Amino acid sequence: MHKVLIIVGDATETVDTLYPYLRVQEEGFQPVVAGPEKRRYHMVMHEGQPGWDITREWEGYKIDADIAFRDVNPEEYLGIFFSGGRAPEYIRDNPDLIRITRHFFEKNKPVASVCHGVEVPARAGCVKGRRMSCVPKCRFDLEVCGGIYVDEPFCIDGNLVSGRTWHFHGLYMKEWIRLLHEEAARRSRRAA
């Protein structure tokens, strides 16, 4: 069974994480949750509030990381998903996560990001000249690292699929899943 990485940390957004996790399973792939350590992580629900200038946060479900970043061999995985929430801000400087992220961009494997997830590939130096959608408050993070902000619900730029927020999972997720199936077929042909 082909494996797909789902990147998390404490305060990863619940819907941003569980929707791709379940979609990957539905498509016959094995989701592998990776975090800074192999342990249980607290997810949150993020939602803007009318009249508020900031995002409100509620406690969500918990999820167990199957593997720590330091133990990930990215060659073993078809693709990678960067969940949103506050986690990306805190995990983006992890040197092993940067190593993993760069691998997927260098090898042109399927990459997906939603909301704040953009902060990881931006920090890893992988977004220069790349078009991405993300939550508007992460536009600066994307652009200061050389990326091109696309003010749309989602964006496809080659192997990179990105969504603004969880509200648009139904629009962009099928594109990332399509890329995963194409990568799986390429691997099968190479193995034959």
Q: Which domains does the chain have, with CATH numbers?
A: 3-191 (3.40.50.880)
For the segment 99-157, what is each residue's pLDDT rounded down to a tens digit? 999 999 999 999 999 999 999 999 999 999 999 999 999 999 999 999 999 999 999 99
pLDDT at 54 (0 to 100) = 66
Cβ atoms < 10 Å from Cβ of 169: 20
More reliable by pLDDT, 44 or 50: 44
Alpha-carbon Rg for the chain, nearest whole angstrom, is 15
pLDDT at 192 (0 to 100) = 80
Q: Are 116 and 90 in contact, with CB atoms under 8 Å apart? A: no
User: Which two structure tokens, joined as six digits, stand for 143?
Assistant: 């652009």
Of the candidates 64, 67, 59, 19, the one whose C-alpha atom is nearest the C-alpha of residue 43 is 59
The overall average pLDDT reported for the chain is 94
Cα 121-124-127 angle, rounded to 5 deg: 50
Mean pLDDT is lowest, of 52-66, 76-90, 97-111, 130-144, for 52-66
- pTM, two decimal places: 0.95
Residues with catalytic function: 116
Q: Is the pLDDT of residue 59 over 90?
A: no
When pLDDT is averaged across residues 31-51 and rounded to a whole number, the result is: 88
The three-class DSSP label of residue 177 is helix
Strands, E assignment, 87-153 = 111-114, 131-132, 148-149
pLDDT at 7 (0 to 100) = 98
pLDDT at 41 (0 to 100) = 97
98: left (phi over 0), alpha (psi -120 to 50) or beta: alpha
pLDDT at 48 (0 to 100) = 65
Q: How far apart are CA 150 and CA 129, in angstroms?
A: 12
pLDDT at 60 (0 to 100) = 83
When pLDDT is averaged across residues 17-21 and rounded to a whole number, the result is: 97
Confidence of residue 57 (pLDDT cuts 50, 70, 90): confident
How many residues in the chain?
A: 192
